[in-house]
Amino acid sequence: MSPKNPLWKLEPHTLGKHLVLRRYLDAWFPIMGSWNGRILFIDGFAGPDEYEGGEEGSPIIALKSLLEHRARRMISAEVWFILIEKEKDRAGHLEVLVNNLNPPLPSNCKAIVLNSAFDHTLTRALDQLDAQAKKLAPCFVMVDPFGVSDTPMEVIGRILRNPRSEVYVSFMYEFINRFKETPEFPRHLDRLFGTAVWRDGMEIKDQEDRKQFFYDLYESQLRSAGAEYVVHFEMYEGQRLVYAIFFGTHSLKGCDRMKQGSTLRTAWARLWGVGLRTIEGDTASAVQRQRVGQNRGDKRLRSF
């Protein structure tokens, strides 16, 4: 459930998620920004960009990844930060923080705060691009909702149809377990998965088997929607699973970078009481092994 106050306490698992995000963007910006005309960072649930203790949210983390990057001069592309937040007070707070950035954004960058819903905003933008027979610019799309509504697979799939798009999705498995008997929940899950097959998982008694069913289904739907490679990892507080992060991409190198970024140091994890478990997914080495014998003459891997 979304917090009622504009600002709320930063939870350890959120800090872990932000650390993974920063590590990945530190690699993504110079690679994508050095050979594309325009790139996009889209935060679909941007929030107020600040927590009760003054800690920074994902929009400022992304902005600072660019501003503080030692290879910033290599980033010649236009970089657009599209920050979407449907709650008016949070969007207003976010806009103030973005406008007061110090140092300000360089001339090739712009940050746009939209007081709107993620699914409606992306649908509208993608409809306009389709009408003009254009494609979405290379993008990293962060989809980090408080629950399971407003994140339909239809929209995720439309993003992934663009060849240099990536999605970083918080899969709120705990919400599925907690609210599965709520009357309005089925329609949200139909949209989340893009299918009604999830209902079969509700019949599974073993908790681990049921969780794996939902993970496998969501990964399968991401692949069907267009993701060539998928990796996911789980965020824990103590022994409690909070949620999983699914990363879908067209880039094998991007998949490896995400797996590297999702490795938290043991000391850091103990300090904050958060655990991160990377689940086996696509990696460059695994896919390369599969291709040996199929085409020995092609040893190249995709770049971002």
Tens of pLDDT, residues 225-263: 999 999 998 887 777 788 899 999 999 999 888 888 776
Amino acid type, 152: P
In a domain, 99, yes or no: yes
Q: What is the reported pLDDT for 110?
A: 95
Query: Across residues 265-285, what is the average pLDDT?
Result: 47
In a domain, 236, yes or no: yes
Amino acid type, 166: E
Q: How confident is the model at residue 2 (pLDDT cuts 50, 70, 90)?
A: low
Q: What is the reported pLDDT for 256?
A: 87
In a domain, 59, yes or no: yes
| Full residue range of the structural domain in which residue 163 is found | 12-291
Q: Which long-range contacts (CB under 8 A, 24 or more apart) does 70-76 make?
A: 71/30, 72/30, 72/106, 74/30, 74/33, 74/34, 75/29, 75/30, 75/33, 75/34, 75/108, 76/33, 76/34, 76/108
Q: How confident is the model at residue 8 (pLDDT cuts 50, 70, 90)?
A: low
Residue 171 makes CB contacts below 8 A (sequence gap 6+) with 215, 218, 232, 243, 244, 245, 246
Query: Using one digit for the tens of pLDDT, what is the confidence trace for 175-203?
Result: 777 756 677 788 989 999 999 999 999 88
In a domain, 7, yes or no: no
Q: How far apart are CA 224 and CA 248, in angstroms?
A: 11
Task: Output the CA angle 289-294-298, nearest 5 degrees.
Answer: 80
In a domain, 299, yes or no: no
Overall number of domains in the chain: 1
Q: What is the reported pLDDT for 15?
A: 78
Nearest to 150 by CA among 109, 119, 189: 119
- 239-262 core/surface letters (b: 16 or more CB in 10 A; e: else): eebbbbbbbbbbbbbbbbbbbebb
Q: What is the reported pLDDT for 303?
A: 29
Q: How far apart are CA 21 and CA 1, in angstroms?
A: 23
Query: Residue 23 is part of a domain; what is its CATH number?
Result: 3.40.50.150
Query: Across residues 195-218, what is the average pLDDT?
Result: 93
* 69, 108 Cβ separation under 8 angstroms: no
Query: Using one digit for the tens of pLDDT, what is the confidence trace for 132-145?
Result: 999 999 999 999 99
Q: Is the pLDDT reported for residue 293 higher than 90?
A: no
Q: Is the pLDDT reported for residue 297 higher than 50?
A: no
Q: Is the pLDDT reported for residue 169 higher than 70?
A: yes
Q: Is the pLDDT reported for residue 53 higher than 90?
A: no
Measured from the Cβ of residue 264, the count of other Cβ atoms closer than 10 Å reads 20
Q: Is the pLDDT reported for residue 276 higher than 70?
A: no
Most confidently predicted of 70-74, 108-112, 186-190: 108-112
In a domain, 2, yes or no: no
Most confidently predicted of 12-21, 199-208, 237-246: 199-208
In a domain, 125, yes or no: yes
For 85-133, give the DSSP string. --SHHHHHHHHHHHHT-SSPPPTTEEEEEE-S-HHHHHHHHHHHHHHTT
Query: Which pTM was predicted?
Result: 0.85
For the chain, percent of residues with pLDDT exceeding 70: 82
The two beta strands, 165-171 and 240-249, are: antiparallel
In a domain, 79, yes or no: yes
Residue 26, H or E segment: helix 12-33
Q: How far apart are CA 169 and CA 235, in angstroms?
A: 13
